[in-house]
Each structure stands twice: as structure tokens, then as C-alpha cells.
Amino acid sequence: MHLLCSPYQLLDILKWKRANAVDSSVASNIRAAVKWYFHGAGHPYIDSRMVGLCTEEELEAEKTDPTLHARTFLKQVSGVGCLPSGNTIEPETDLIPPQPNSCVYSMDIYVNKPLIETLKDANVPLGEDTLFDWVMHSGICQFGGSQEQFNGS
């Protein structure tokens, strides 16, 4: 894993797909807006919409962080706020942590060869940790923050 130092690092590896029903000019405008968003610093503060989502201390501490948007995106889509080794996200070869969905009490698990490989070693006596345990736990912890927070990522 590599630390994210600039939004350009994310934008260089981001894969874009357009649904056939979306007009190409609309897709272009969305892409431009997303790129603009990733270059923003800190939490967007429109009226009082961020109140309750972050503490005032977090808002203040992160207001000039130029990588906050890109790191938060990476954390949500990969379970960690870092770029993968090799600066490319490869769904066929990377072990991807699960993505919990808090409002519907569900979890998306990306089933690929690396995940299937971890299952081969997952049947051990209770109390012995496995790579699958780590993947599950990292996805849940990254999503939820501390146990005292709700969706604290």
C-alpha cells in the first residue's frame, strides 16, 4: 500500500464507465465535477449540512487537507485510505475488503480469486486468526470507525 499524497494519484488510476442510458455530454460533466470534487480540501460545508457528521474539531483539523476527498473515497471503495501497491486497483488480483451498507444491514463482498484463496485457510479452530478474518475485520473497522461511533469513517 502507498500513501495518497495528491488527488492526481487517484485520478490517474480511476476507471470510468458510462451507462448506455447516460448521454455522453452528461457523463463528461459528471466526470469533470467528480475530478473537481477530488481536488477540494477538507469537508464540504454547505449551510449546516456537515453538522453531526463530523465534530467541529474534525472539521477544523481537516479543513485544509487536500487529500481528504480522495482518501475518503479510497477508504470507502477499498476499505483503506491508501493506494494499492503498484498504484493500480486490480479486482482480479487484489484482496478487497467487504463494504458494509449500514442503512440496509447488508454487506457487499467482492468475490474474486484472492478471496476464494483465503477461504481455503479459513476453516481453523475458533480463536485462530486467518487472512479472511483480517479482511472482514479491516472492512468493518474502516467502515465504522471506533466501536463508539456509528459509521465513523
Tens-place pLDDT, residues 64-100? 999 888 888 888 776 677 776 665 657 778 888 777 7
Q: How many domains, the chain?
A: 2
Q: Give the residue among 44, 47, 51 at the shortest CA–CA distance from 72.
A: 44
Examine the domain organization and report whether 141 and 122 are in the same domain: yes
Examine the domain organization and report whether 80 and 123 are in the same domain: no
Please give the helix or strand (H or E) that residue 135 lies within, else none: helix 131-144
Q: What global pTM score does this model have?
A: 0.55
Q: Give the residue among 88, 96, 100, 140 at the shortest CA–CA distance from 118.
A: 96
Confidence tier at 151 by pLDDT (50, 70, 90): very low
What's the average model confidence in pLDDT over 96-124?
Answer: 82
Examine the domain organization and report whether 7 and 80 are in the same domain: yes
Tens-place pLDDT, residues 44-56? 776 666 667 778 8
In whole angstroms, give the CA distance from residue 140 to residue 123. Answer: 20
More confident: 117 or 135: 117
Of the candidates 73, 89, 105, which is a domain's last residue? 89
Cell (9 digits) for 140: 468493518
First to last CA, the chain: 19
Examine the domain organization and report whether 40 and 25 are in the same domain: yes
Residue 150 is part of which domain span? Answer: 90-153
Examine the domain organization and report whether 3 and 61 are in the same domain: yes
Burial class of residue 139 (count of CB atoms within 10 Å of its CB; 0-12, 13-18, 19+): buried
